[in-house]
Amino acid sequence: MSFEPSARIETVLQEERVFKPSSNVLGKYSISSFDQYQQLVDSAKSNPEKFWGDAALKELHWFKPFDIVLDWSNPPFARWFDGGKTNVSYNCLDRHVLNGLGDKIAIIWEGEPGEVRRITYKELLIEVCRTANALKSMGIKKGDLVALYMPMVPEAAIAMLACARIGAPHSVVFGGFSSEALRDRLNDGQAKAVITADGGFRKDKIISLKEAVDAALINNSCPTVKSVLIVKRTKTNIDFFPERDIWWHEIVPSQSIECLPEQMDSEDRLFVLYTSGSTGKPKGVVHSTSGYNLWAHLTFKWIFDVQKDEIYWCTADVGWITGHSYIVYGPLSNGATTVMYEGVPRPSNPGAFWEVIQKHKINIFYTAPTAIRAFMKSGRKIPDQYDLSSLRLLGTVGEPINPEAWMWYREIIGRNNCSIVDTWWQTETGGVMISPLPLATSTKPGSATFPLPGIQADVVNSQGETVQADQGGYLVIKKPWPGMMRTVHGDPKRFRETYWEYLEPIEGDLVYFAGDGARRDKDGYFWIMGRVDDVINVSGHRLGTMEIESALVSHDSVAEAAVVGKADEIKGESIVAFVTLETDNAPSEVLMNDLKKHVIKEIGVIAKPEEIRFTNSLPKTRSGKIMRRLLRSLASGEEVKGDISTLEDKNVLDELRK
Beta bridge partners of 80: 70
Smallest separation, CB 434 to ligand WTA (Å): 8
Q: For residue 260, give the DSSP letter.
A: P
Among 422, 458, 533, 573, binds ligand WTA (CB under 6 A): 422
Among 30, 227, 275, 419, binds ligand WTA (CB under 6 A): 275
Site string for ligand WTA, 482-521 (x = CB under 6 A): --------------------------------xxx-----
Cis peptide before 76 (omega within 30 of 0): yes
Query: Is position 424 an interface residue for ligand WTA (rule: CB under 6 A)?
Result: yes
Smallest separation, CB 332 to ligand WTA (Å): 18
**Cα–Cα separations (whole angstroms), residue 122 to 159, 259, 311, 329, 621:** 16, 13, 18, 16, 63
Query: Is position 80 an interface residue for ligand WTA (rule: CB under 6 A)?
Result: no
Smallest separation, CB 647 to ligand WTA (Å): 29
Smallest separation, CB 90 to ligand WTA (Å): 26
Beta bridge partners of 567: 573
Contact segment (CB under 6 A) with ligand WTA among 26-34, 505-513, 527-535, 591-599 equals: 527-535
The rounded distance, in Å, linking the Cα atoms of 326 and 340 is 11
Task: Tell me the pairing of strands 116-120 and 105-110.
Answer: antiparallel
Query: CA nearest 371: which of 314, 443, 418, 433?
Result: 314
Number of residues that bind ligand WTA (CB under 6 A): 23
Among 334, 427, 441, 557, binds ligand WTA (CB under 6 A): 427
Site string for ligand WTA, 536-575 (x = CB under 6 A): -x----x---------------------------------
Scan residues 587-646 and list those touching ligand WTA (CB under 6 A). none
Residue 276 contacts residue 543 (beta carbons within 8 Å): yes
What secondary structure does DSSP assign to 110-127, as a single string? Answer: E-TTS-EEEEEHHHHHHH
Half-sphere exposure of 35 (CA within 13 A, CB side): 0
End-to-end CA distance of the chain: 29
Output the CA torsion 285→289→294→297 (10° steps).
Answer: 80
Query: Is position 399 an interface residue for ligand WTA (rule: CB under 6 A)?
Result: yes
Contact segment (CB under 6 A) with ligand WTA among 30-38, 187-195, 420-428, 640-648 equals: 420-428
Smallest separation, CB 475 to ligand WTA (Å): 8
Among 321, 339, 439, 562, binds ligand WTA (CB under 6 A): 321
Contact segment (CB under 6 A) with ligand WTA among 6-14, 424-432, 486-494, 498-506 equals: 424-432
Q: How many CB atoms lie within 10 A of CB 136?
A: 17
Among 335, 400, 438, 609, binds ligand WTA (CB under 6 A): 400
Output the CA torsion 478→479→482→488 (10° steps).
Answer: 60
Query: Is position 331 an interface residue for ligand WTA (rule: CB under 6 A)?
Result: no
Smallest separation, CB 423 to ligand WTA (Å): 5
Which CB atom, from 314 or from 357, has the smaller least distance to ligand WTA?
A: 314
Which CB atom, from 86 or from 419, has the smaller least distance to ligand WTA?
A: 419
Among 448, 452, 476, 607, binds ligand WTA (CB under 6 A): 448
Task: Tell me the pairing of strands 269-275 and 283-288.
Answer: antiparallel
Which CB atom, from 334 or from 426, has the smaller least distance to ligand WTA?
A: 426
Among 133, 234, 278, 423, binds ligand WTA (CB under 6 A): 423
The rounded distance, in Å, linking the Cα atoms of 596 and 577 is 10
With 0-12 CB in 10 A as exposed, 13-18 as middle and 19+ as buried, what is 28? exposed
Q: For residue 607, give the DSSP letter.
A: G
Contact segment (CB under 6 A) with ligand WTA among 239-247, 329-337, 528-536, 581-589 equals: 528-536
Scan residues 368-387 and list those touching ligand WTA (CB under 6 A). none
Residue nearest to ligand WTA (CB): 427
Which CB atom, from 8 or from 620, has the smaller least distance to ligand WTA?
A: 8
Residue 505 contacts residue 511 (beta carbons within 8 Å): yes
Which CB atom, from 96 or from 531, has the smaller least distance to ligand WTA?
A: 531
Contact segment (CB under 6 A) with ligand WTA among 18-26, 526-534, 604-612, 622-630 equals: 526-534
Smallest separation, CB 436 to ligand WTA (Å): 11
Beta bridge partners of 280: none
Which CB atom, from 376 or from 618, has the smaller least distance to ligand WTA?
A: 376
With 0-12 CB in 10 A as exposed, 13-18 as middle and 19+ as buried, what is 389? exposed
Smallest separation, CB 448 to ligand WTA (Å): 5
Half-sphere exposure of 78 (CA within 13 A, CB side): 24
The rounded distance, in Å, linking the Cα atoms of 442 and 339 is 28
Among 87, 234, 426, 487, binds ligand WTA (CB under 6 A): 426
The rounded distance, in Å, linking the Cα atoms of 293 and 270 is 9
The rounded distance, in Å, linking the Cα atoms of 187 and 182 is 9
Query: Is position 333 an interface residue for ligand WTA (rule: CB under 6 A)?
Result: no
Helix axes 589-602, 545-553, angle to 10 degrees: 120
Among 528, 564, 579, 630, binds ligand WTA (CB under 6 A): 528
Phi, psi of 324 (to 5 degrees): -60, -55
Interface residues with ligand WTA (CB under 6 A) are 275, 320-322, 397-400, 422-427, 448, 514-516, 528, 530-531, 537, 542
